[in-house]
Amino acid sequence: MADERPWIKNYPSGVPANIDPNQYKTLLDFAADCFKKFKDRKAFECMGKSITYGELDKMSNNFAAYLHSRGLEPGEKIAIMMPNLLQYPIAIFGALKAGLIVVNTNPLYTPREMKHQFTDSKVSAIVIVENFASNLEKIIGDTNIKTIITTTIGELLGLKGHVVNFVVRNVKKMVPKFELTNTVKFKEALSQGKKFTIKDFTNEPDTVIIHQYTGGTTGVAKGAMLTNKNLVANMLQIKAWLGSNVEDGKTVLCPLPMYHIFAFTVNGLAMMSFGSHTVLVTNARDLPSVIKEFKNHKVSMFTGLNTLFNALLNHSDFSSADFSELKITVGGGMAVQKAVAEKWEKVTGCRLSEGYGMTECSPVATINPIDGTARLGSIGMPIPSTDMRVVAEDGTVQGIDGIGELQIKGPQVMKGYYNRPEETSNTIKDGWLCTGDIGSMDEDGFFKIVDRKKDMILVSGFNVYPNEIEDVLAGHPKVLESAAIGIPSDKSGEVVKAYVVKKDKSLTADEVIAYCRENMTGYKVPKEVEFKDELPKSNVGKIIRRKLREEEKVE
Q: How far apart are CA 412 and CA 235, in angstroms?
A: 9
Residues 237 and 127 in one domain: no
Residue-wise pLDDT for 50-73, tens only, equals: 999 999 999 999 999 999 999 999
Residues 436 and 544 in one domain: no
Q: What is the DSSP letter of 477?
A: T
Q: CATH number of the domain at 185, please.
A: 3.40.50.980
Q: How far apart are CA 262 and CA 363, in angstroms?
A: 6
Measured at the CA of 252, the angle between CA 251 and CA 255, to 5 degrees, comes to 140
Structural domain tally of the chain?
3
Q: CATH number of the domain at 498, please.
A: 3.30.300.30
The DSSP string of 362-376 is SSEEEE--SSS---T
- Banded pLDDT at 3 (limits 50, 70, 90): low
For the chain, first and last CA: distance in Å? 53
Residues 125 and 262 in one domain: no
Q: How far apart are CA 225 and CA 213, in angstroms?
A: 9
Residue 46 belongs to some domain of the structure? no
> Could you tell me which of 281, 293, 291, 297 has the C-alpha nearest to residue 347?
291
- Beta strand 328-331 with 364-367 is unpaired
Q: How far apart are CA 145 and CA 139, in angstroms?
A: 10
Residues paired with 78 in a beta bridge: 102, 125
pLDDT of amino acid 244: 85
Residues 397 and 279 in one domain: yes
pLDDT of amino acid 555: 46
**Domain finish residue from 452, 486, 515:** 452
Residue 167 belongs to some domain of the structure? yes
Asked if omega into 363 is within 30° of 0 (cis), the reply is: yes
Residues 196 and 237 in one domain: no
The DSSP string of 372-394 is S---TT--BEEPTT-EEEEE-TT
Q: How far apart are CA 51 and CA 54, in angstroms?
A: 8
Lowest-confidence region among 301-305, 371-375, 402-406: 371-375
Residue 361 belongs to some domain of the structure? yes
Cβ(543)–Cβ(535) below 8 Å: yes
Cβ(539)–Cβ(257) below 8 Å: yes
Cβ(143)–Cβ(75) below 8 Å: no
Measured over the CA atoms of residue 162, residue 164, residue 165 and residue 170, the dihedral's sign is: positive
Residue 545 belongs to some domain of the structure? yes
Residue range 294-323: mean pLDDT, rounded:
95
Work out the burial of residue 74: count CB atoms within 10 Å of its CB; fewer than 13 is exposed, 13-18 middle, 19 or more buried: middle
- Banded pLDDT at 216 (limits 50, 70, 90): very low
Lowest-confidence region among 103-117, 207-221, 293-307, 332-346: 207-221
Is the pLDDT at 321 greater than 70? The verdict is yes
**Domain finish residue from 175, 203, 231:** 203
Q: For residue 493, give every residue at least 6 positions away whose Cβ sits within 8 Å of its Cβ, in sequence order, or none.
A: 458, 459, 460, 461
Segment holding 79, helix H or strand E: strand 77-81
Q: For residue 58, give every residue at least 6 positions away whose Cβ sits within 8 Å of its Cβ, in sequence order, or none.
A: none
Cβ(486)–Cβ(496) below 8 Å: yes
Residues 158 and 280 in one domain: no
Per-chain mean pLDDT for the chain: 93
Chain centroid to Cα 89, Å, comes to 16
Residue 138 belongs to some domain of the structure? yes
Q: How far apart are CA 43 and CA 52, in angstroms?
A: 5
Cβ(42)–Cβ(34) below 8 Å: no
pLDDT of amino acid 541: 87
Residues 395 and 277 in one domain: yes
Residue range 25-33: mean pLDDT, rounded:
98
Residue 215 belongs to some domain of the structure? no
> Could you tell me which of 135, 149, 144, 125 has the C-alpha nearest to residue 178?
135
- Banded pLDDT at 95 (limits 50, 70, 90): very high
- Beta strand 277-280 with 42-46 is parallel
Residue-wise pLDDT for 164-174, tens only, equals: 999 999 999 99
Residue-wise pLDDT for 466-521, tens only, equals: 988 998 899 999 999 999 999 998 888 899 999 999 999 999 999 999 999 988 88
Residues 157 and 35 in one domain: yes
Q: In 3-state terms, what secondary structure has residue 549? A: helix
Residue range 424-428: mean pLDDT, rounded:
94
Residues 513 and 484 in one domain: yes
Task: Please state, for a pLDDT cut of 90, what percent of the chain lies above it.
Answer: 83
Residues 386 and 309 in one domain: yes
Q: CATH number of the domain at 391, please.
A: 3.40.50.12780
* Torsion from C-alpha of 254, 255, 259, 260, nearest 10 degrees: -100
Residue-wise pLDDT for 223-259, tens only, equals: 999 999 999 999 999 999 999 889 888 999 999 999 9
Residues 266 and 172 in one domain: no
pLDDT of amino acid 215: 55
Residue 446 belongs to some domain of the structure? yes
Backbone angles phi, psi at 259, to 5 degrees: -75, -10
**Domain finish residue from 452, 481, 505:** 452
Residue-wise pLDDT for 282-300, tens only, equals: 999 899 999 999 999 999 9
Residue-wise pLDDT for 437-453, tens only, equals: 899 999 999 999 887 77
Q: How far apart are CA 450 and CA 466, in angstroms?
A: 9
Is the pLDDT at 176 greater than 70? The verdict is yes
Residues 260 and 345 in one domain: yes
Domain limits at 470? 456-554
pLDDT of amino acid 219: 53
Residue 411 belongs to some domain of the structure? yes
